[in-house]
Amino acid sequence: MAKEGTSRSLGTSEVTVVDAGDCRDPFQWDLREDCEVRQILDRIADKWSLLVIALLEDRMMRFNELRREVDGISQRMLTVTLRHLERDGLVCRTVYAEVPPRVEYCLSPLGKTLLGTIQSLVDWTEEHQSEIAGARAEFDARQGAARVPASG
Amino acid sequence: MAKEGTSRSLGTSEVTVVDAGDCRDPFQWDLREDCEVRQILDRIADKWSLLVIALLEDRMMRFNELRREVDGISQRMLTVTLRHLERDGLVCRTVYAEVPPRVEYCLSPLGKTLLGTIQSLVDWTEEHQSEIAGARAEFDARQGAARVPASG
DNA sequence: CAGTATCCTTGCTGATACTG
DNA sequence: CAGTATCAGCAAGGATACTG
């Protein structure tokens, strides 16, 4: 993965460390892009990460097994996603020196705690789903009306 | 992640609506990309949305005021972000017909509920921040060792 | 001040080919 | 089976110029 390799900065070292004394305000954190929060958020908001985490909740799974379940994902992206998750210590990768090769992935304890956290996010979403849908519809209606006033 | 462009269905109508009855399982939802959850998640995980929401927590702010606070953001992206947030009914936009023009943004009640939710996410992050950093460092160390074995 | 429109770069993502 | 490497496509983000 040459492209990904380019962005060594992903989490390597340039990250600006802020002293805790500065973090008393509830939302001071996200004023900086480099903040950890952004890193994590990017991961869970990743196109596939969430899927994989969710799938791994119940059981440990093999590479192609995950591939089949997620289905839409390409081999490359599954690898990338898994690597990211592994790097963050969210999933564990176990390689069995067998023939044929077998690699199993499972959620780490840390990953499991994240599971609960994202669930609260999901709860919020499901709870306000219709409100948002309504707001969107209304907004689109207004936009449509504003943009096509003389159509009729 | 589910880019809006990927599925033009975002606001239009192609969005597959899943009935709540289908979403009982804690993580059944995220098996479909089109799920509402993904939409919302994409928004709050947006590069800037979170920033704006956080800034708007305390007070209502004007366009350039937000621009200054976020700083890294371009004018275009602030507009786009604000529009998205407005469309989702998360922020309110108030235009004052004055000279010079004045537009103020504030969090909607719905937006405020989201505030609490993302906070839990932040809490998790801050709580496990060091674990992740450690995992990353360890991972990178292993990778580095594997890739540069004969350098010394 | 608060946008809108346009061009350009970046980087994610997927398809393909190859390896152990 | 489980990857790795490379290339091509496209959308998102950023810079710039212009407007009300």
Give the list of residues 6+ apart from residue A1 with CB closer than 8 angstroms, or none.
A76, A80
Inter-chain residue contact A113 with B124, CB threshold 8 Å: yes
- Per-residue pLDDT, A31: 54
In a domain, B96, yes or no: yes
Nucleotide D3: closest residue by CA–C1': A79
In a domain, A21, yes or no: no
Q: What is the CATH number of the domain that holds A126?
A: 1.10.10.10
Residue percentage of chain B with pLDDT more than 90: 47
Give me the residues of chain A with pLDDT under 70, please. Answer: 1-34, 147-152
Tokens of A46: 């990743």
Considering only the beta carbons, identify the residue of B33, B37, B50 that sits closest to A125.
Answer: B37
| Mean of pLDDT values over B13-31 | 45
**Cα separation, B67 vs B76, whole angstroms:** 10
Does the pLDDT at position B60 exceed 90? yes
Instruction: Say whether residue B117 is in contact with chain A using an 8 A CB cutoff.
Output: yes
- Per-residue pLDDT, A119: 86
Does the pLDDT at position B85 exceed 90? yes
Distance from chain centroid for Cα A31:
20
| Mean of pLDDT values over B126-130 | 90
In a domain, A64, yes or no: yes
Instruction: Say whether residue A4 is in contact with chain B using an 8 A CB cutoff.
Output: no
In a domain, A95, yes or no: yes
Inter-chain residue contact A89 with B29, CB threshold 8 Å: no
A78: nearest nucleotide, CA–C1' criterion: D3
Cβ A105 vs Cβ A60: under 8 Å: yes
- Per-residue pLDDT, B22: 42
Predicted structure pTM score: 0.80
Which domain does A127 fall in, by range? 32-141
| Mean of pLDDT values over B16-40 | 56
Residue percentage of chain B with pLDDT more than 70: 73
- B119 pLDDT band (50/70/90 cuts)? confident
Cβ-based neighbour number of residue A112 at 10 Å: 14
Number of separate domains in chain A: 1
Inter-chain residue contact A50 with B29, CB threshold 8 Å: no
